[in-house]
Amino acid sequence: MSNYLVKRFLQLIPVLLLVSIFSFLIVHFAPGDPLNMYMRPDMTQEEMDTLRVNLGLDGTIVDQYFAWLGNVFHGNLGNSLITQQPVAGRILEVLPNTVLLMGTSLVLSFVISIPLGLIAGLKKNKLADQLISFFSYVGISIPSFWFGLLLIIVFSLLLHLLPGSGMHEIGRSDLPDLIRHLIMPSLVLSVGNVATFTRYIRSNTISQLEEEYVLTAKSKGATQKHILFGHVLKNCLLPVITLAGMHFASLVTGSFIVESVFGWPGMGTLGMSAINNRDYPMIMGFTMLSCLLLIIGNLVADLLYYVADPRIKSGLKEVRG
């Protein structure tokens, strides 16, 4: 197991390097220059050159990349070209907001989709399945910005039940206020996830219920509840673990669209602003963090597979043995 972990971590290095190279090239080749943010009508060419040097934008793209990489190896993601403040500091400032939003949405997604998926699988082609499938298709098809605006109109504008944007009312920072602001964006983010997860769990439940071990359990007189929660659920969780791993990165990257609609001050908003301003170090910091988390998410998913499915554990032993 430890060898496996070491191997996986070693694999991280070339992947991250490749991602950093491609990301660096893409952001630098996009039209636009971060220096534009500083341009003033009375600026001389000399001043512009000085500014370019001060911001570290004077060398070739290769020089700039290695300068950035050198900083990263020293644990420094560089300074934002716009605020000139450390990138890591700014990311850490907004990260909790995004983790809160995305984490709530992810938990909500699992809490809702697991029972729905199991029910739909168990009641295959029955009314309950039809209803759940209908809402799943709606959830998958619905654009998040549209659904977000719809919720704001209904719950904020018409019913005055929930605030339409931001994280807090002005002058308040208490938990109930935060929860009120969290409800709509997390719901919007959950809808797509719930729909997708439910479909996965449903189809897996159906296939698991057709397995021989279910028949054996039935023949031994096990109750449906015991079969479902004692045996089937565990096997159904395998694809969910994969999905969770894939969504792990979204915990920190946030959602550009939903954060924008709800004015949520998270990583999505930060990332969008960085892209608009061509804030290269911020974009790189954002991209690398997302990539790292995506890889770690997949690794964690693999490890959870290992825990959830004894066959994988024994498979690994067989390979080794």
Using CB under 8 A as the criterion, which residues of the chain lie in contact with another protein when the complex forms? 30-33, 36-44, 47, 50-51, 54, 79-80, 82-85, 93-94, 97, 127, 130-131, 134, 138, 145, 148-150, 152-154, 156-158, 160, 163-171, 259-263, 265-266, 269-270, 272-273, 276-278
Q: Which is nearer to another protein, 37 or 304 (CB)?
A: 37
Min separation Cβ 202 and another protein, Å = 17
Min separation Cβ 292 and another protein, Å = 23
Q: Which is nearer to another protein, 12 or 178 (CB)?
A: 178
Three-state secondary-structure class, residue 79: strand
Residue 278 to residue 207: CA distance in whole angstroms: 49
**CB-based contacts of 158: which residues, under 8 Å, 6+ apart?**
none
Q: Which helix (H) or strand (E) holds 255?
A: none
Q: Which is nearer to another protein, 87 or 237 (CB)?
A: 87
Min separation Cβ 169 and another protein, Å = 5
| HEC sequence for 85-148 | CEHHHHHHHHHHHHHHHHHHHHHHHHHHHHHHHHHHHHCCCCHHHHHHHHHHHHHHHCCHHHHH
Q: Which is nearer to another protein, 148 or 285 (CB)?
A: 148
Alpha-carbon torsion angle 89, 93, 99, 102, nearest 10: -110
Q: Which is nearer to another protein, 152 or 206 (CB)?
A: 152
Min separation Cβ 40 and another protein, Å = 5
Min separation Cβ 256 and another protein, Å = 9
Q: Which is nearer to another protein, 126 or 317 (CB)?
A: 126
Q: Which helix (H) or strand (E) holds 46?
A: helix 45-54
Over its C-alpha atoms, the chain yields an Rg (Å, rounded) of: 24
Min separation Cβ 102 and another protein, Å = 16
CA angle 127, 185, 165 (to 5 degrees): 140
